[in-house]
Amino acid sequence: MRILISILRKEFIQIFRNRVMLPYIFVAPIVMMVVLVFAANLDMKEIKFFVVDKDLSAVSRKLTADFTGSSFFKFKGSGFDLREAEEKIIKREADLVIHFQRGFEEHLRKEGESSVQLLINAINATKAGLINVYSEGIIRDFNQDIRLEWLGIESFDQIQNIDITHTFWYNPELNYKIFMLPGILVILVTVIGMFLSALNLVMEKELGTAEQINVTPIRKFHFIIGKLLPFWVIALFDLAFGLILSKIFFHLPILGNPLLLFGFAGVYLLVVLGLGLFLSTLADTQQQVMFLAFFFLLTFILMSGIFTPVESMPNWAQNVNIVNPIAYFMKVIRMILLKGSTFRDISHEFFAMMVYASLTLSLAVWRYRKIS
């Protein structure tokens, strides 16, 4: 036991004197909070639109006005030349061109139907999809207004209508930061737990001091605990630090029990540390560790549901996620923070993590012993 304490003391001293690691531990959370949160906004802001109105009727003008009045759209000008409008799309001055053909209103009155053409820059498929959906929404509402106006209330009654109201729970302001912040916290914890621990182990390997330990009464497991435990502590500390920052500066809701979050994080970290240990046995230099970790993290973070929903992934990918610990934490942290989930709600994920923790740690330790 005294041996363990000696080792831990030494490790902590070395970590805090290590100029390479310190920025990751203290500066990274701040930078991530600030930059990532502000930059990482997949929200749709103003959709720039240009109008080619060859009809110039009351209806086309009103519909245009409805678009202008919407907070999602920004009016960028109008013209008569479709070619000119297309160029605006190429030059990225407009995301959308609304094209009313001549006779739009007349056709609607006489034939009972008419169409509006929407030219959308679809390079960003997601954005294009959203533009289409929002535009359709505005047109649909406008359509109802027109019907009401032209038919009069009595005749309108003859047609059935379903009144649909919608509410947004857990993020009523549709603030993207609320979604991103937990994700960033997950990245933070994972990077410290996996990347820094692996880096530390490899640094020791490079220095050659690891062999020194073999002559002393230090057993392998002392050594391993000494190398991993500090990062367990540091990661949890950074999680707390990040949470506090998020709460103060971004008003991140913390509906659930923070202790539950830390409990889960503690177990999650065991998995991640195991992976870090395993990673260190695969690399000989710091550079290799960096790239291996980058590779691994990039893949699993993207698949974890941080930016895009897990359900949107193809089934085979969702199956792969069963062994992706990051996906679990990503889900759980959002559940606890944003929805106030309790232990019962996350028990499945919790036990999965415990199983994985024992698996990865055993595997990693086994491999580590073999290699050295």
Partner 1 sequence: MPAVEDIIIVRDMVKKFGKFTANDHLTFSVRKGEIFGFLGANGAGKTTALRILCGLSYPTSGEIKIAGYNVYKDREKIKKTIGYMSQKFSLYENLTIAENIKFYAGIYGLRRKVIDARTSELLDKLGISSIRNRLIRDIPLGWKQKLAFSVAVFHNPSIVFLDEPTGGVDPITRRQFWEMINESAEQGITVFVTTHYMDEAEYCHRVSIMVDGRIAALDTPGKLKESFNSKDMNGVFLTLARSKRMNAV
Partner 2 sequence: MKRFLGFVKKEFYHIIRDYRTLVILIGIPVAQILIFGFVVSNEIRNTKISILDNSHDEITKKITNKIISSGYFDLHSYLNSYDDIETAFRKGNIKEVIIFESGFSSRLTREGEASIRIIADASDANTGRLITNYTQGIIMNFLKDLVPPGIEIPFTIDSRPRMYFNQDLKGVYMFVPGTMAMILILICALMTSISITRENELGTMEALLVSPLKPVHIILGKVTPYVLLSFIDGLIILLLGYFVFGLPFHGSLALLLSEMTLYVILSLSLGIFISTVAQSQPVAMIMSMLMLMLPTLLLSGFIFPIENMPLLLQGLSMIMPARWFIIILKNIMLMGTGILFVWKETLILLGMTLFFMILSIKRFKVRLE
Binding to partner 2 in span 218-277, by CB under 8 A: none
Closer Cβ to partner 1, 10 or 110, answer by number:
10
Closer Cβ to partner 1, 14 or 286, answer by number:
14
Q: How far apart are CA 293 and CA 194, in angstroms?
A: 8
Taking the complex as a whole, the smallest distance from the CB of residue 357 to partner 2 amounts, in Å, to 21
126 belongs to the binding site for partner 2 (CB under 8 A): yes
Q: Which of 58, 162, 248, 259 forms a contact with partner 2 (CB under 8 A)?
A: 162
Taking CB under 8 A as the rule, which mask of x and - marks residues 55-94 in contact with partner 2? --------x----------------------x--xxx---
The per-residue DSSP string of 12-60 comes to: HHHHHH-TTHHIIIIIHHHHIIIIIHHH------PEEEEEEESS--HHH
208 φ/ψ sector (left φ>0, alpha ψ -120 to 50, else beta): left
302 belongs to the binding site for partner 1 (CB under 8 A): no
| Footprint on residues 328-357 left by partner 2 (CB under 8 A) | 331-332, 334-335, 338-342, 345-346
Q: Which of 52, 178, 260, 273 forms a contact with partner 2 (CB under 8 A)?
A: 178
185 belongs to the binding site for partner 2 (CB under 8 A): no
If you ran DSSP here, which 8-state letter would residue 311 be given?
G
152 belongs to the binding site for partner 2 (CB under 8 A): no
Please return the burial class of 218, using the count of CB atoms within 10 Å of its CB with bins 0-12, 13-18 and 19+: middle
Q: Are 95 and 75 in contact (CB under 8 A)?
A: no
Q: How far apart are CA 116 and CA 66, in angstroms?
A: 14
Q: Which of 30, 56, 233, 298 forms a contact with partner 2 (CB under 8 A)?
A: 298
Taking the complex as a whole, the smallest distance from the CB of residue 202 to partner 1 amounts, in Å, to 16
DSSP strand pairing (47-53 vs 96-100): parallel
Nearest to 270 by CA among 324, 194, 195, 332: 194
Q: Which of 82, 130, 139, 218 forms a contact with partner 1 (CB under 8 A)?
A: 218
DSSP strand pairing (73-79 vs 47-53): parallel
Q: Which of 7, 25, 33, 40 forms a contact with partner 2 (CB under 8 A)?
A: 40
| Footprint on residues 7-36 left by partner 1 (CB under 8 A) | 7, 9-10, 13-14, 17-18
Quick one: what does residue 14 bind among partner 1, partner 2, none, with the CB cut-off 5 to 8 Å set by partner type?
partner 1
Locate 281 and state its tokens: 């046995």
CA torsion 106-110-112-115 (nearest 10°) is -30
Q: How far apart are CA 194 and CA 89, in angstroms?
A: 44
113 belongs to the binding site for partner 2 (CB under 8 A): yes
3-state secondary structure of 198: helix
115 belongs to the binding site for partner 1 (CB under 8 A): no
Q: Which of 45, 153, 173, 217 forms a contact with partner 1 (CB under 8 A)?
A: 217
Quick one: what does residue 114 bind among partner 1, partner 2, none, with the CB cut-off 5 to 8 Å set by partner type?
partner 2
362 belongs to the binding site for partner 1 (CB under 8 A): no
| Greatest alpha-carbon span in the chain | 96
Point out which span in 147-155, 221-229, 234-242, 267-275 binds partner 2 (CB under 8 A): 147-155
Q: Which of 144, 216, 285, 358 forms a contact with partner 1 (CB under 8 A)?
A: 216
339 φ/ψ sector (left φ>0, alpha ψ -120 to 50, else beta): alpha
Q: How far apart are CA 200 and CA 24, in angstroms?
A: 12
Closer Cβ to partner 2, 2 or 91, answer by number:
91
361 belongs to the binding site for partner 2 (CB under 8 A): no
**CA–CA distance from 283 to each of 33, 214, 216, 228 (Å)?**
30, 20, 25, 17
Taking the complex as a whole, the smallest distance from the CB of residue 155 to partner 2 amounts, in Å, to 9
169 belongs to the binding site for partner 2 (CB under 8 A): yes
Residue numbers at the binding site for partner 1 (CB under 8 A): 2-3, 5-7, 9-10, 13-14, 17-18, 207-209, 211-212, 214-219
